[in-house]
Amino acid sequence: MAGIVECVPNVSEGRRADAIDRMAAAIGGVQGVRLLDRTSDVDHNRSVFTFAGPPEAVESAAHALVDAAAREIDMRAHRGEHPRLGAVDVVPFVPLAGTSMEDCVGIAHRFGRAVAERHGLPVYFYARAASRPERVRLPDIRKPQYEGLQELMATTHAPDAGPPRVHPTLGALVTGARPPLIAFNIELDTTDVKLAKRIAKEIRESSGGLPAVQALGFGLTDPPRAQVSMNLLDASVTSLARVWREVEERARAAGVGLLRGELIGLMPLDAALQVADDALRLGGLPRDRIIEAHFIE
């Protein structure tokens, strides 16, 4: 298969720099793969790796990451703010140049079944690779978290591949295929986690808020502050500028300002152009107005 595929796995380790380094090295050690970004968060106790390359190489790098995580992470001792099912919590494959969504669905299914057999790990397929409608949304699969998953294995959470039991140290893994998304957080100038949770509920699509937006509220430390954590599933439907305005409006109504935004991983150029267009009120900012865009396809 020709072309380029992106993979954006999330692992349940964001505090031990040496362990994160070894997992990053496992990815980067696969020939043909470029590790584009790595982002870690101490409070969430979570790291996000972004890498890309030819499909076969990317699939091999995803396996290398799971092998490394199996040596580094024990879910029995894991604590963090972010919901999670396993050591390698989610492994999405994203079509880029010369690849299709159908290609990535095939990669996700092949990868998931191989991981299940190799590690004795329960695996779930989500997004475009989902095996059933109730597994399209990642939050629906992840809802019981590692601690509550085993109780539901015989009913709502029978795995798509692998044994119907939680792996004691690795937990479970979710993999799938999806378009590019933007992981974006906004920190509030308050320690009021209830406010962050209320804002998150009001803006997320599942509660009747902004389309193509997932959101949760968290409390962070060092320094203490509240955070609205979001996934923008389609920035052409709801832009970064729109979610910033919506969060800011609700925070200000409660007498609270915003501290900063935080981008997790990478985002598409077109999403950045949307933000610039909105801020500068240009009435449209096409790619051909950007110098560097003339040198990329």
CA distance 121 to 189: 41
Active-site residue, selected from the candidate residues 44, 63, 82, 167: 82
CA distances from 147 to 79, 153, 165, 229 (A): 11, 12, 12, 22
- Token pair recorded at residue 117: 């057999």
CA distances from 281 to 36, 143, 275, 278, 284 (A): 31, 40, 10, 5, 8
- Token pair recorded at residue 168: 């004691």
CA distances from 39 to 193, 263, 290 (A): 23, 9, 27
* Closest by CA position to 86, among listed 95, 75, 96: 75
What interhelical angle do 17-28 and 55-72 show, nearest 10? 150
- Adjacent-strand bridge partners of 197: none
CA distance 220 to 206: 24
Asked if 109 is an active-site residue, the reply is no
| Cα atoms in the 13 Å half-sphere on the side-chain side of 239 | 15
Phi, psi angle pair for 118, to nearest 5°: -70, -40
Write out the catalytic residue numbers. Answer: 82
